Structure 1
Amino acid sequence: MDAAARLSQLRAQAGRVVQTPLAKLIAGDPARAQEFALRVGPIYANFARQHYDRDALAALFALAQSVDAPARLKALFDGEKINLTEGRSVLHTSLRSDLSDAPVAKAAHAQALEARTRMRALVESLSSSGITDVVSVGIGGSDLGPRLAVDALGGAKPGRLRVHFLSNVDGHAAQRVLAGLDPARTAAVLISKTFGTQETLLNGAILRDWLGGTERLYAVSANVERAAQTFSIPAERILPMWDWVGGRYSLWSAVGLPIALAIGMDAFEQMLAGAAEMDAHVLRTPAESNLAFWHALTGVWNRNGLGYSTQAVLPYDERLKLLSNYLQQLVMESLGKSTRTDGTPVGVETVPVWWGGAGTDTQHSFFQALHQGTSIVPADFIGVIRADAPYPQNHRALQANLLAQTEAFANGQASDDPHRAYAGGRPTTTILLDALTPHSFGALLALYEHSVYLQSLVWGINAFDQFGVELGKQVANRLLPALEGQAQADDPVTRALLEQLRGR
């Protein structure tokens, strides 16, 4: 049975469930508040406010079994070439855990440990060198994960090294990052899997010239030879990447060097340990008790059963404000496909648009539309139980707002004044971290990674290629000569736009 046939059965379930308001589903099943919840280590997740009932959940878990999801999870950990379009293994789990006896996975884990030893030596060397600032140059997966982790885990006070991020090819970005830095006390890390990424090469050249040479340049790449040739970086200052790690899954590798420079190598390894704990849970736990299965199947239900086209992620912790940016790439680059692995059309809707921001700021921007707009937007609310900031009254207010918003989304409120009526029925999942630590942070990101892969199995798509990012880059390379007046564009609208760009 293909994805379209399986999901048509899901829509039949949804057609039944939506006849009952969400608030009534919750009131009619008092045990669901406890039984629709799971804990894995430092993470608790409650799905009781999702708009499904027990029969619909049973259909969702049957759907996971119909695509052989547990066995295909094992195939990922074992290093089978599940990235079919590129003929590659997908072994980001081997960067942080050793859960497979397969030789290819064992070999990958050994490589990861060797790279981590070299990474620790570089962190110690830079931390004792008199350097105060490090600029991390990368884009996409080479930037979003490390940027999020440094912002989330960096703490209230600057660490030994201040880490800054430069991704956008716009020269104003480089100008702003370098403003106020001292080139004599700054190093740069150039991160690119192929060392052919236009943005990273251009920004790397700016850093090389600004630093006055390559003495304080470091690199992370799968193409060590090209990194050495392009920027004259010696091999001892280049850490490896591998083709079995996709960019958006790479922060667990030496791509995480900026994280380790900001928070320390011990804390970086605690982050890996948190991800490894989630890996073990996901690999070894039956689907009905498996947090990644619950999260993934909830996403499929909202997209294909109920037809919702967007998904919000709303962390109620300022330190996680960049989480929505990170998840946009992880989820939408992985699941933004319309072709099955066998080359045929998917025939169903795949990834929704992911977006969001940190509460309570977002309550005063787009929550109006979430409460009273015509589109229903499912949301993941993420809270932290124990705060590190010394302002307990603020933290209680933050938690009160998180609880209030999820309750209001679900239950709504009737009013004689239609302008003050709230329909409710807005589904949410609440995820609580005991505290925001490297360990819990690593577990949280690993949860989302596994959820993405499980959704891809339901839709029959490859979560690990990203050909959709290539076309625009190819056209841009063709247009550079036109911008320099050395060629003409083929497209008539582009020609009109070029006239404006060149004429002014």
Structure 2
Amino acid sequence: MSRLTSLPEWTKLSELAQAIKPAHMRDWFNDDPSRPEKMQAEACGLFLDYSKNRINDEALDALIDLARAQDFEARRDAMFNGSHINTTEGRAVLHTALRNFSADELHVNGEDVMPAVRNTLDKIRTFTEALHNGEYKGYTGKPLKQVVSIGIGGSFLGPKIMTEALKPYHQHAVDVHFVANVDGCHIKDVLAGLDHEETLVMMSSKSFSTQETLQNTQTAKQWFLDGGGKQEDIAKHFIAVSSNVKAATEFGIDEDNIFPMWDWVGGRYSLWSAIGLPISMALGYEHFEALLKGAHDMDTHFQEAPLKDNLPVLLGLLGVWYRNFFDAQSHVLLPYYHYLRGLPAYVQQLDMESNGKGVTQPGEVVDYATGPVIWGSEGTNGQHSFHQLIHQGNTLIPADFLLPLTVPNQDDTHHAMLASNCFGQSQALMQGKTFDECYADLSDSDMEASERERIAQHKTMPGNKPSNTLLFEKLDPYTLGSLVAMYEHKVFVQGVIWDLNSFDQWGVELGKVLGNQVLDGINGEQSADAFDASTQQLIDRFRARNAPE
């Protein structure tokens, strides 16, 4: 038995879960109409209704006790003050410093990092303004109107999804295109529609050697040279976010156009850094800064709000409740707003890369479930596909519903229909429909009693399926910043309770290393002894089909 599962707080939660499981939320609402008023929280433009959860005050208090038994508050403070909480890599975790608008110093290894952060923000502002006003020009003197942002993982997903989510705020000074997949079809399709004289390529890689990112950047470089540019012109058309200044300058990038990265910022937390430059280029710096300010205010809320009123804490505790005491293996995100459709993919990486771990901080193999599978899609599309499984499947899948109260250029009919579906789905998941109700619905049919019973059984929905509903006035940059930071901190809460290092990703690193080895094998630069028989067979078949003629 692990330390966590031997805690008295864990035992108490197990007992409470067994007592609560037979209860139905429908009865709780009938018995206490004021339940929603008691189970809500609000901060930084976000309103959370968590009343449709299979939890009561006693269980919530017990979850808070478990968090405190795991020293949550001290670990939270350690993250914000720059302690090396990424213990396997000996690093601080300070994505919060990137959006810190206080005047406080923040020391890492004895050095105040805030001047460098502020200088980078000034550099982002200056570059964005020069690009937008046409001052920054290409080698032929033309203003640059197209931006190709090349990255992978967090250096791609964060900027892309934030830019998509804030489409109503685009400035249209430049068009930003995102490329991540090393499949050559993607980069070639993007470049095919562009004029190299008016295109800026941004390469995001801390090492300047990430396989997919470097290959796509090399392809873009060749495209630029084939179009008529020369090696010395690279400096005006390529920029980088990287720690490897030497490699970037050897590539041809002007050192003044290399934006810094720090080892205390992980990729999936990097959109707040210069990795977010494409957001600034698409929206304008003022909106990028508003994104940061929303996240900063959520940081403050996370640090200061009582745990029972704390949005990230509440969501994190509910996640632990279902994962560990109800055997929920996944969690679904359902944004009812088209521009926010990428959020499930963003949180998927954030959560699964952070807490998809099976070893505690001290190196103990866990004997309890950790990170869930995160998935989802925009409403109402999912209602016509996978919602069926959530409603009538025998696997518990907690859900987050997200909805802006107003949208740009609002069509009241469309938005009312969208909201009605969002609220109706959460109600249906909680309430369900009993066999008797379904049987009564068939009373006017010509079916015999036995057939009515059979069909009613198929129509019955058990309900009692938990969900949270998050409302916000509108999805502006500030609100999106607070929303993303809230999910970041939710993941942190769960990682603390499970005693994980939520800030390394050795599983990702292994895949990179083996991918490079296999590439050597495909190129004939690695002996067959390096691979298992199956992998070598696949390499041989690929080489046979792609051998030079």
TM over 0.5: yes
Q: After superposing the two structures, state which structure 1 stretch, 94-103 or 421-430, moved more.
A: 94-103
Structure 2 distance, partners of 1:422, 1:99, is 51
Aligned position for 1:182 = 195
Q: Which residue of 1 aligns with 2:17?
A: 14
* Contact persistence 1:219–1:227 (CA under 8 A): yes
Give CA-to-partner distance per residue, 1:369-409, whole Å, 9 cap, x none. Answer: 11112212111111101111331210110000000000001
Give the Cα–Cα distance (whole angstroms) in 2 for the partners of residues 472 and 314 of structure 1: 30
- What amino acid does structure 2 have at the position aligned with 1:143? F
Q: Take 2:491 and 2:275, find their aligned partners in 1: how far apart are those partners? A: 21
SS at match of 1:3: coil
Q: 1:265 aligns with which of 268, 285, 299?
A: 285
Which contiguous aligned blocks of 4+ residues in structure 1 show a shift greater than 4 angstroms? Answer: 98-103
CA distance in structure 2 between the aligned counterparts of 1:390 and 1:457, rounded to whole angstroms: 41
Cα offset, 1:270, TM superposition: 0.4
Q: State which of 339, 349, 353 in structure 1 corresponds to 2:369.
A: 349
TM-score, length basis structure 2: 0.89
1:501 to 514, 533, 542: 542
Which runs of structure 2 are paired with 1:413-428 in the superposition (5 Å)? 413-414=433-434, 415-416=438-439, 417-428=456-467
- What's the offset of the Cα at 1:11? 2.1
Residue 372 (structure 1) aligned to one of 373, 378, 392: 392
Amino acid of the residue matched to residue 400 of structure 1?
A: S
Amino acid at match of 1:372: Q
In structure 2, distance between residues paired with 1:441 and 1:132: 26
Q: Residue by residue, what CA displacement relative to the aligned partner does 1:111-144 show, whole Å, maximum 9, x if unpaired?
A: 1111000111111122214211100000001011
Is the aligned partner of 1:140 residue 2:153? yes
Alignment-derived partner of residue 3 in structure 1 = 4
Quick check: 1:77–1:100 contact (8 Å CA) kept in 2?
no
Asked if the contact 1:77–1:99 (Cα under 8 Å) also holds between the matched residues in 2, the reply is no
Residue by residue, what CA displacement relative to the aligned partner does 1:130-178 show, whole Å, maximum 9, x if unpaired? 2111000000010111001110112287621111100011111111222
> What is the rounded CA distance, in whole Å, between the counterparts of 1:133 and 1:460 in structure 2?
45
Q: Tell me what 1:433 maps to.
A: 472
Partner of 1:124: 129
Query: How many Å separate the matches in 1 of 2:103 and 2:387?
Result: 44
How does 1:154-233 map onto structure 2 within 5 Å? Answer: 154-155=167-168, 159-212=172-225, 213=231, 214=234, 215-229=236-250, 231-233=251-253
Which SS does the other structure have where 1:340 is aligned? coil
Deviations 1:24-54 (A, max 9, x none): 2333333220111101021001110111111
Correspondence list, 1:471-490, <5 A: 471-486=510-525, 487-488=527-528, 490=531
Deviation readout 1:60-85 (Å, 9 max, x if unpaired):
11111111212211111100111111
- What is the letter of the counterpart of residue 381 of structure 2? D
Give the secondary-structure state (helix, strand or coil) at the position aligned to 1:439.
helix
Q: Where do 5+ consecutive residues of structure 1 fail to align?
A: none
- Aligned partners of 2:30, 2:105: CA distance in 1, in Å? 48
Task: State how far apart, in whole Å, the 2-side matches of 1:99 and 1:4 are.
Answer: 39
Contact 1:278/1:446 (CA < 8 Å) preserved in 2? yes
Q: Unpaired runs of 5+ in structure 2?
A: 137-142, 226-230, 440-455
Query: Judging changes above 3 Å, is the alpha-carbon distance between structure 1 residues 92 and 157 closer, same or farther for their aligned structure 2 residues?
Result: closer
Q: Is 1:90 equivalent to 2:93 in the alignment?
A: yes
Aligned residues: 503
Aligned equivalents of 2:178 and 2:531: distance in 1?
A: 36
SS in 2 for 1:250: helix
Is 1:448 equivalent to 2:487 in the alignment?
yes
**In 1, Cα distance between the equivalents of 2:131 and 2:420?**
43
Q: What amino acid sits opposite 1:503 in the alignment? A: A
Query: CA 1:131 to 1:102, structure 2 compared with 1: closer, same or farther past 3 Å?
Result: closer
Aligned equivalent of 2:415: 395
Q: Which residue of 1 aligns with 2:115?
A: 110
Using the TM superposition, give the Cα deviation of residue 100 of structure 1 relative to its aligned residue in structure 2, in angstroms.
8.8
| Counterpart residue number, 1:303 | 323
Match of 2:258 in 1: 238
Report the Cα distance in structure 1 between the residues aligned to 2:534 and 2:97, rounded to whole angstroms: 48
Question: Identity over the aligned pairs, expressed in percent?
Answer: 38
- Cα distance between partner residues in 2 of 1:210 and 1:108: 38
SS of the residue 2:395 aligns to: coil
Partner Cα distance (1:280, 1:376) in 2: 33
Alignment-mate amino acid for residue 497 of structure 2: V
Tell whether 2:79 aligns with 1:76. yes
- Counterpart of 2:430? 410
- Which residue in 1 is equivalent to 2:27? 24
**Using the alignment, how far apart are the partners of 1:31 and 1:65 within structure 2?**
29
2:95 is aligned with 1:56: no
RMSD of equivalent CA atoms: 1.6
**One-letter code aligned to 2:72:** A
State the Cα distance separating 1:503 from its structure 2 match. Answer: 2.9
Classify the secondary structure of the residue corresponding to 1:344: coil
Give me the whole-angstrom Cα distance separating, in 2, the residues matched to 1:99 and 1:350.
34
CA contact (8 A) 1:78 1:102 kept: no
